[in-house]
Amino acid sequence: MKQFFLSLILIMTIDVHGSISQDLPDTGVSGVYEVMLGSADAEKTIQYFGEFGFSVIDEATISAKAAKQIYGFDSALTSYRLQNGNIGTHGLLRVLEWKNPSGPGVGFSQPETVGVRMSVMRTNDIFRLADIYQDLREEAQEPWLVAGPVFDDLYGSTKGKLSITNRRAGVREMGIYGQLFNHVFFQRYGYTIPGYGTIADDTPLRTSEFTHHDFFVEGDLTEVTAYYSSVFGLRSENEPVIDGEWQAGPRVVFQMEAGRSHWYRGFVSPNNICGKIKLFSTYGLHETDDRSHRQRIGELGITLHSLWTPNVTLIHRLAKENGLAPPPIGANEFGEPSFLLTGPDGVSWQIIGKNVKMGDPVTEFKIEAVNN
């Protein structure tokens, strides 16, 4: 019993930013604000995400002419902004219902496909979700790929000989890949990370806001991702490193065959540990399918993401100074000052000028042991 109570008070702080020395511009960006999802049926899409705890907090309709000016795509548009619980600083969803979408988007594909985007959520019941999507695949004949769940001790938290009172700690994660949207779910065991994934009590499927976002891109990650720091003010967690099928999590979640590997690099806001960006590339390692031409604004599926900043003119200036040629700042469909930006990695962003009440943002990544 003494060992049991001692395990409850263990607190471990991890420096997730590594030892990289970085002089970052103070942009005020607080992680990824929204996933922006093209849909041909907003009502159905909103109902789907309602099961994960998302609800509409704003909506706007604009003409094809206005959409052409904002997005460069000639179609009338109705947008719906959705929020999960009370989390308004990051992890939101914007559904873009195009009257005349240009195509099906990246669609149902292998995870390691250039142009694939994944949105990650914490859950309290990952096996329930696995059963649900397996039923959708087998009984409803819907195109879902269920990859996992798989267990991994990411932080080396399991110590000593395992017993009923000294249980292993770690995470189970699972990829769910569909026609319109790709999920990654994770459930923690034996520890928690304060501020990283908040699950509201009334969420039907016991899931959080989007905690981080995965992007499969093309190119040398050292070169094509530099703008995340120099323009957005995000801290690089690491220089690019190689992950591979020898690791339990990547092997299962990314459906990696024997001998496969990819480069990984992560970025996090100095203002919030949530809303992280994780980028993957097989540059110089393997050939992979490329559907980035179907990942354009106006297509269905995830086509861009947004960031909010209290200083939109600063990011606009930094983008110009870094050779990204942004269009002039205008107003988006919600009347917010904004502009679009596509990086060298092929990822598209809407940068929004606004102040979102932060409350008490968590900026330090801490692992705290819990008894479960």
Instruction: Give the CATH number for residue 327.
Output: 3.10.180.10
Two tokens, residue 153? 């001790």
If you average pLDDT over residues 1-23, what whole number do you get? 43
> CA-to-CA distance for 36 and 53, rounded, in angstroms?
17
* Closest to 294 in 3D by CA, of 70, 118, 104: 104
- Is the backbone peptide bond immediately before 149 cis, with ω within 30 degrees of 0? yes
Query: What proportion of the chain, given as a percentage, has pLDDT over 70?
Result: 94
DSSP string, 99-139: SS--B--S-S--SS-BT-EEEEEEES-HHHHHHHHHHHHHT
CB 230 within 8 A of CB 318: yes
Two tokens, residue 4? 């049991």
- The chain-wide mean pLDDT, for the chain, equals 92
pLDDT at 11 over 60: no
* Closest to 52 in 3D by CA, of 103, 113, 128: 128
Two tokens, residue 21? 């020395």
Residue 262 belongs to what domain range? 2-369
pLDDT at 4 over 60: no
User: How many structural domains comprise the chain?
Assistant: 1
How many of the other CB atoms lie within 10 Å of CB of 306?
A: 21
* β-pair type (366-369, 191-192): antiparallel
**Can you say whether the dihedral through the CA atoms of 193, 195, 200, 206 is positive or negative?**
negative
> CA-to-CA distance for 347 and 349, rounded, in angstroms?
7
Task: Give the per-residue pLDDT at 7.
Answer: 36
Looking at residue 87, the DSSP 8-state letter turns out to be B
Q: C-alpha distances in angstroms, 222 versus 114, 238, 276, 281? A: 17, 10, 17, 11
Q: C-alpha distances in angstroms, 327 versus 94, 299, 307, 320, 351? A: 21, 21, 16, 9, 11
Task: Give the per-residue pLDDT at 18.
Answer: 45
pLDDT at 16 over 60: no
pTM, rounded to two decimals: 0.92
How would you class 301 by CB atoms within 10 Å of its CB: exposed for 0-12, middle for 13-18, buried for 19 or more?
Answer: buried
> CA-to-CA distance for 334 and 49, rounded, in angstroms?
21
Two tokens, residue 67? 């959409």
* Closest to 252 in 3D by CA, of 157, 146, 344, 160: 146
Task: Give the per-residue pLDDT at 38.
Answer: 98
Task: Give the per-residue pLDDT at 9.
Answer: 32
Tens-digit pLDDT profile for residues 223-248: 999 999 999 999 999 999 999 999 99
Which three-class secondary structure state does DSSP give residue 39?
A: strand
Tens-digit pLDDT profile for residues 111-150: 999 999 999 999 999 999 999 999 999 999 999 999 999 9
Q: Which long-range contacts (CB under 8 A, 24 or more apart) does 41-44 make?
A: 41/97, 42/78, 42/80, 42/95, 42/97
Task: Give the per-residue pLDDT at 5.
Answer: 30
Task: Give the per-residue pLDDT at 169.
Answer: 86
pLDDT band at 20 (very low <50, low <70, confident <90, very high): low
Task: Give the per-residue pLDDT at 371.
Answer: 83
pLDDT at 201 over 60: yes
Tens-digit pLDDT profile for residues 287-320: 999 999 999 999 999 999 999 999 999 999 999 9
The pair phi, psi for residue 221, each rounded to 5°, is -65, -25
Two tokens, residue 123? 């859950």
pLDDT band at 154 (very low <50, low <70, confident <90, very high): confident
Tens-digit pLDDT profile for residues 321-355: 999 999 999 999 999 999 999 999 999 999 999 98
CB 53 within 8 A of CB 205: yes
